[in-house]
Chain A
């Protein structure tokens, strides 16, 4: 029941109409309530509480708060297993990337279109079961979690303390190690894969070794026949597959992951996962230092402009955009970088005079955002007192694809300009 005291003045008919519209637009119908209620039925309250208690015990106060939030990323559910202290299931859609931190020192970024179960058991081992897709794992042993492994079908990757990527597409599994060493186990053998190396199973269940520099001695099986280690060990087939006669020349090896690709993948995943711009900049700069002639430099430079803008380093972003334009005057990312440049000048520096040249250029080109560029050209021109240009740009923008708010604003400003 409404308390009339909270109404200072009776609403005017227009205000009442606006409130009625808002009430109507934002109402929740019974079907939506039932939908959420049904989703909640699938929650296990005991497991949720146990996971929360475990989490509180396992991490320090600040980290715990962050971890709980991380576990609540859409699509993540926590359940309980008999031996598990923490268990999560993460499924990502086509455009989703999620990062979960089931315990201190364990960060798992789950790429799009992936299915992963994460368990921390009572033996202080974290296990990531990769059912499909890709994970980037960053693990640092701690008192809470002393060991870690990733299971991808029949392949199991045991971690000593490292950062690595595991990709699984059906039976094909690739492992690329960026830091430290991992031990890859599969039904046919065991191999240590060191920093800078990668390893891939073939589509025909043949295992292919690429530039492996084992930091650990080969497995006991390999020591039995040193002449065959490590290649023979690696190429040992699963039970029903015939061993290739010439293991030195494996036929049709599966795709292998280079260091450059690992770093690039991490840049992409961290960006999609919302990692702070400052952290992403470290990787971007590392990439540019390590691979100055890479085919991906243009992409990385463009991402660098974006990251600088995102962290609010406006002038640096504009400088970087200028350098990008000098180096790639006809680059495929030219318009995007120019767009960022204009946005930074207008939104962050509130300097329409610096934004206007970019908007003029972008509004004159036949591309997806020409109308928005024309709109902002008009707004900036109006602010600069360039009424003629503003009118022309806004009228042009109204013929394109603007948001409702932009359309309303363009009409309002045009009205003011015509009235002035």
Chain B
């Protein structure tokens, strides 16, 4: 109850543009938001830019926060939407680059951003490839449970789904991640089970 009252007062202060409340918002969530952007952005986006945008949207929309969930859940929802936009733009860019020699044909809009280039260590690239092999729902659960170590209840609250759904998704997510980790060479390929034709495999770049 005290927590709810505290959050309610906090939100009111945020709506007023109170500097201390804003600083508290940043301090409380900047680590989480940046982590979500890094882990769920799939190497397609600049996580720092995305995190910045998350806070811009959060401040712009704070008036719509009704206290029906925790502030963390609400911030996660904002992050999801911002990431979806960033990923969509990045995918469009990548599609075009792929169609046109990765953007070098017509010159201006090709090539990774400096942030992308900086994040392109081999290991991180491989990890992102593995995570991209998962569906978005499975990726989300694997990141939140297995990489961030959150409890099933926490993740259920963040995602707004029943706890059992989290466990079910995690089961499939782990299997898919194991398979991808072997296939992309993140770990020794002891788990490859697929019997797909070379051509089908080849379609996944």
Q: Quick one: closest A residue to B39, CB to CB?
A: A26
Task: Determine how close the nearest CB of chain B comes to the CB of A212; give it in whole angstroms.
Answer: 31
Interface residues of A in 260-276 (CB under 8 A from B): 268, 271-272, 274
- Are B149 and A2 in contact (CB-based, < 8 A)? yes
A residues near B56, Cβ cutoff 8 Å:
43, 48, 72, 78
Q: Which residues of chain B come closer than 8 Å to A405, judged between CB atoms? A: 129, 184, 204-205
Known contacts A8-B171, A22-B147, A74-B49; A413 and B202 CB within 8 A of each other: yes
- B151 pairs with A3, CB closer than 8 A: yes
* Across-interface contacts of B51 in A (CB, < 8 A): 36
Q: Which residues of A contact B66 (CB under 8 A)?
A: none
Is A85 an interface residue, CB under 8 A from the partner? no
Pick the contact of A36: B52, B147, B183 (CB < 8 A). B52
Beyond known contacts A3-B151, A11-B174, A95-B108: 11 more, CB 8 A cutoff: A1-B149, A5-B167, A14-B181, A15-B187, A19-B146, A21-B126, A28-B34, A36-B30, A69-B85, A306-B96, A340-B99
Are A408 and B108 in contact, CB atoms less than 8 angstroms apart?
no
Q: Type the 1/0 row for A7-26, where 1 means its CB is closer than 8 Å to any CB of B.
A: 01001101101110111111
CA distance A17 to B53 in the complex (A): 33
A51 to B57, CA, bound (A): 11
User: Which label, helix, strand, loop or mixed, suits the secondary structure of the A interface?
Assistant: helix
Interface string of B141-162 (1 = CB under 8 A from A): 0000111011111010000000
The verdict on A138 contacting chain B, using a C-beta distance below 8 Å, is no
The smallest C-beta distance from A394 to any residue of chain B, in angstroms, reads 9
List chain B residues, Cβ under 8 A from A49.
15, 17, 59-60, 62-63
Give chain B nearest CB distance to A102 CB in angstroms: 14
Distance in angstroms between the alpha carbons of A380 and B169 in the assembled complex? 34
Cα-based distance from A45 to B39 in the complex (angstroms): 27
Residue A293 at the B interface, CB < 8 A? Answer: no
| Distance from A380 Cβ to chain B, minimum over Cβ atoms (Å) | 7
User: Contacts A33-B30, A43-B56 known; A18 to B105 CB distance under 8 Å?
Assistant: no
* Residues in chain B near residue A46, CB distance under 8 A: 17
* Inter-chain contact B198/A40, CB cutoff 8 Å: no
Given A26, A35, A40, A340, which contacts B127 in the complex, CB threshold below 8 Å? A26
| Inter-subunit contact B109/A95 (CB<8 Å) | yes
The stretch from B1-9, B68-76, B117-125 touching chain A is B117-125
- Separation in Å of the A317 CB from the closest CB of chain B? 9
Is the C-beta of B193 less than 8 angstroms from some C-beta in chain A?
A: no
Which of chain B's residues has its CB closest to A369's CB? B101
Q: Quick check: A32 and B48 within 8 Å, CB to CB?
A: yes
Contact with A along B11-49 (1 / 0, CB 8 A): 000110101001000110011011100110000001111
CB-defined contacts of A408 to chain B, threshold 8 Å = 183-185
| Beta-carbon nearest neighbor of A93 in chain B | B113
Within residues 81 to 114 of chain B, which ones have a CB less than 8 A from any CB in chain A? 82, 85, 89, 92-93, 95-96, 98-101, 104-106, 108-111
A18 to chain B, nearest CB (A): 4
**Are the C-beta atoms of A45 and B17 separated by less than 8 Å?**
yes
CB-CB under 8 A from B166, the residues of chain A are 6
A412 close to B (CB within 8 Å): yes
Residues of A within 8 A of B191 (CB): 12, 14-15
Q: Which residues of B contact A347 (CB under 8 A)?
A: 203
In the complex, chain A residues whose CB is within 8 Å of the CB of B149: 1-2
The one of B98, B127, B202 in contact with A409, judged by C-beta atoms closer than 8 angstroms, is B202
Given A40-B30, A72-B57, A310-B95, does the pair A272, B17 have CB atoms closer than 8 Å? no
CB contact between A383 and one of B52, B177, B198 (< 8 Å): that residue: B198
